């Protein structure tokens, strides 16, 4: 069911999560020790905070935007903490960078396991909260992921003219990040939805399984019935069914 105070919102601003902040007292959020990180993420928390701040700044300039922090319960060590919830807590820790009124237009999406799901599931979360699909989508992430998110946009058929990617920054070891990104974009080029049926050497599927330690299942096929076909599409070919992007009209909830 949508939130009445959000019914007039039109645009989605999405901050894609990368890790989980676990400190209970918000002490020194830039420190690696206060996050659950993969080895290659050492030293990255200050960059994630910049992503959060970028989303807050952009949403504060657009009174018709809903700010969504996206990222699931991706690490067993973090227990029930999600990437999205921890990003929201950090925005609160920094007092929304003096944009305190914005917290009334911010929410979380806590099922996404990768960048494709960040995009699609945040659209679904917008639908849940607002009662319609977004007119415009702005994504904040690593700058080196621009091509990947363009592939995601193409996979869901969202209009290019209504889509903006913001590369907030890049990690220190950009060369390694770009090398790994080549493998990921190549995988999404042949398997746009990351749902290939192969269980062996499936880069995208293996990552998703590893990032769902609690075997959680999203509810979006039920709460966003217009996207049920896309959400359950498991083939490598592009989804050919009808999508709601062209209608863009408010839906009864």
Distance CA 107, CA 12 (A): 11
User: What are the φ and ψ backbone dihedral angles of 202, each rounded to 5 degrees?
Assistant: -100, 95
pLDDT at position 99, please?
96
- How far is Cα 239 from Cα 231, in angstroms, rounded to an integer? 10
From CA 63, how far away is CA 109, in angstroms rounded? Answer: 20
pLDDT at 200: 53
Going from the C-alpha of 45 to that of each of 97, 105, 200, the distances in angstroms are 17, 24, 32
Which residue pairs from 241-244 have beta carbons closer than 8 angstroms and sit at least 24 positions apart in sequence? Answer: 243/156, 243/157, 244/133
What residues in the chain have per-residue pLDDT under 50? 248-253
Give Cβ neighbours of residue 54 (< 8 Å, ≥ 6 apart): 15, 140, 166, 168
- How much is the pTM? 0.94
How far CA 101 is from CA of 67, 92, 104, in Å, comes to: 12, 11, 6
Q: How far apart are CA 121 and CA 142, in angstroms?
A: 19
What is the per-residue pLDDT for 135? Answer: 97
Residue for token pair 């809903």: 66
């Amino acid at each position: 069911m949508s939130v009445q105070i959000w019914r007039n919102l039109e645009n989605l601003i999405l901050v894609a999560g990368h890790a989980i902040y676990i400190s209970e007292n918000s002490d020194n959020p830039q420190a690696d020790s206060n996050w659950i990180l993969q080895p290659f993420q050492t030293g990255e928390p200050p960059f994630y905070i910049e992503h959060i701040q970028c989303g807050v700044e952009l949403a504060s300039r657009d009174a018709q935007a809903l700010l969504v922090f996206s990222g699931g319960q991706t690490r067993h060590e973090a227990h029930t903490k999600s990437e999205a919830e921890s990003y929201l807590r950090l925005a609160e820790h920094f007092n929304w960078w003096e944009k305190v009124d914005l917290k009334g237009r911010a929410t979380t999406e806590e099922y996404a396991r990768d960048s494709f799901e960040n995009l699609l599931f945040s659209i679904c979360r917008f639908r849940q909260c607002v009662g319609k699909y977004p007119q415009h989508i702005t994504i904040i992430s690593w700058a080196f992921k621009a091509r990947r998110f363009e592939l995601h946009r193409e996979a869901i058929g969202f209009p290019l003219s209504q889509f903006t990617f913001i590369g907030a920054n890049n990690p220190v070891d950009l060369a390694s990040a770009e090398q790994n990104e080549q493998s990921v974009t190549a995988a999404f080029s042949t398997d746009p939805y990351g749902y290939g049926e192969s269980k062996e050497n499936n880069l995208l599927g293996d990552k998703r399984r590893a990032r769902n330690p609690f075997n959680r299942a999203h509810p979006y096929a039920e709460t966003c019935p217009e996207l049920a076909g896309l959400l359950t599409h498991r083939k490598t070919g592009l989804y050919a069914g009808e999508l709601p992007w062209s209608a863009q009209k408010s839906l009864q909830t």
